[in-house]
Amino acid sequence: MHRLGPYRAGMSDTQTMVRTQIAIDDHAYFLAQGQDIEKLQARIEDAVRAGGRFERFVVVGNRQMSVLFTAASRVAFSIETVQYDARDTGDEDQPFGGFFDD
């Protein structure tokens, strides 16, 4: 799992966290905190070996995605440090952004 925040970066009071992006073909999604990246990668590999299968994961906003992965799918992961967002918990029962904001 790649959740390392919140922590203070250097001597500043800015809290940061690690955010992982998954790019699938021509679409990119930021994964919610708490996603186990190594397990997701293994599930995607298994789906491709099985000839294709839908796999689920939670994206920023605490929304579940279901994506069909096949041998033709192109998938890349990238990791960056971003400003801490306490709302980004990966809890699907607490969505935020868009229609769900107050």
Task: Render pLDDT for 48-67 as a digit per residue (tens, 0 to 9).
Answer: 999 999 999 999 888 999 99
- Rounded CA-CA distance 81/79 in Å is 7
Whether 17 maps to a domain, the answer reads yes
pLDDT at 10: 58
- Domain of 74? 7-100
How many structural domains compose the chain? 1
Backbone angles phi, psi at 64, to 5 degrees: -80, 135
pLDDT at 49: 98
- Is there a domain that residue 67 lies in? yes
Question: Is residue 81 included in any domain, yes or no?
Answer: yes
Q: Does 2 reside within a domain?
A: no
- Residue spans of the chain under pLDDT 50: 1-4, 99-102
In a domain, 1, yes or no: no
DSSP string, 8-68: E-TTS--EEEEEEEEEETTEEEEBPTT--HHHHHHHHHHHHHTT-EEEEEEETTTEEEEEE
**How high is the pLDDT of residue 32?**
92
Please tell me the pTM assigned to this model: 0.74
